Amino acid sequence: MGKVTSVEVAERAGVSRSAVSRVFTPGASVSKSTAEKVRKAAAQLGYRPNVLARSLITGRSRIIGLVVAYLENQFYPEAIERLSKALQAEGYHVLVFMASNDHAATQTVIDELLDYQVDAIIAASVGLSSDLTKRCEGLGIPIVLFNRHQYDERLTSVTSDNVAGGRKLAEFLIAGGHKRIAHIAGWEDASTQIDREAGFMAGLKEAGVSLVARGIGNFNFETAQNAARRMFGAQERPDAVFVANDHMAFAVMDVLRFELGLRVPEDVSVVGYDDVTLSHWPSYDLTTVRQPANRMVAATVEALLARLSEEDEAPRRITLDGPLIIRGSARKPESCTL
């Protein structure tokens, strides 16, 4: 059998070829009865529209390139699923590419995305060079940063309010009576890490409390485990630790409880950041700051569509407040009520 054409579908449905095209064009105006006739005829004939051919005509592939650095952290698979569904509802498809925080590697990935003629790019916790930003801008391909910002006024970014979140955790631990507070950082060049630590340190400073220890986990499970071993293997260990995301906090809690024999929260309070699904599980019961993923995704899609439609060409830096979620991994202030 040869490839079924839109002309054959139009003849079977008793409509014009342009009507067939409108039925299979997202957002196009077409009556319900016409759409039903065309889809019925298409199903009978086994017709599928040639998306690539249409992209050559319209100049739009309706593909959004999503670049993500890593998926070990549960926050990203959940966010990617939400982003994909939200963009599909707007008639777009998502092409996911894995990258790293190395600018050269990221440039290679972006080159591949551009080969696919993507309409726009979402960079999830991936740093972009100024040259790459300039190149995409010259090609008319908008970029939105998700869960990361850069000091580049050409870029739109969507994050939670990491500074405010870090401050909330500092205030919570201080209110709980902790005196020896430590921090295990993520990747130090990431804006999320920089802002969370800045808010945390500001909260400690306002209360006249100094950080007693600092380790680096690089947002990596094994690296966070090693940081915990060094930090809590010392003779005078901290009585509380803020770990820069939940993924690392789970690693730290496992080391404290199963290797060092420490009780959480009786001996050490542990708090994280993100509020991923595992945080709810009784085995961790992690006190953390919730990243408002649904609102972050909605804001990202809204900003991206505005850039694509050229309704809003001005880049924006969007920050969304996330609540402190109090559970059982940290000692609660006496005045705290759930």
Mean pLDDT throughout 315-335? 92
pLDDT value at residue 337: 47
CA distance 149 to 206: 26
Of the two residues 60 and 81, the one the predictor is more confident about is 81
Q: Distance (Å, rounded) from C-alpha 286 to C-alpha 192?
A: 19
Contact 182, 240 (CB under 8 A): yes
Say yes or no to pLDDT of 57 above 70: no
215's enclosing H/E stretch is strand 213-216
Cis peptide before 238 (omega within 30 of 0): no
Domains of the chain: 6-49 (no CATH), 60-161+293-320 (3.40.50.2300), 162-290 (3.40.50.2300)
Beta bridge partners of 98: 68
Is the four-CA dihedral 27, 92, 192, 324 of positive or negative sign? Answer: positive
Mean pLDDT for 233-238 is 88
Spatial CA neighbour of 291 closest among 302, 275, 277, 278: 275
Predicted pLDDT of residue 169 = 98
Span 128-162, pLDDT tens digits: 667 777 777 787 888 899 998 887 777 889 999 99
Least confident range from 64-68, 133-137, 214-218, 262-266: namely 133-137
Q: What is the per-residue pLDDT for 3?
A: 78
The edge-to-edge listing of strands for the beta sheet with 63-68 is 93-98, 63-68, 120-124, 143-146, 156-160, 317-320
At 280, list the tokens.
């709810």
What is the mean predicted confidence (pLDDT) over 91-118? 78
Q: What's the chain's average pLDDT?
A: 88
Give residue-wise pLDDT tens across range 162-214. 999 999 999 999 999 999 999 999 999 899 999 999 999 999 999 999 999 99
Residues 243/68, Cβ–Cβ less than 8 Å: no
The answer to whether residue 229 scores a pLDDT higher than 90 is: yes
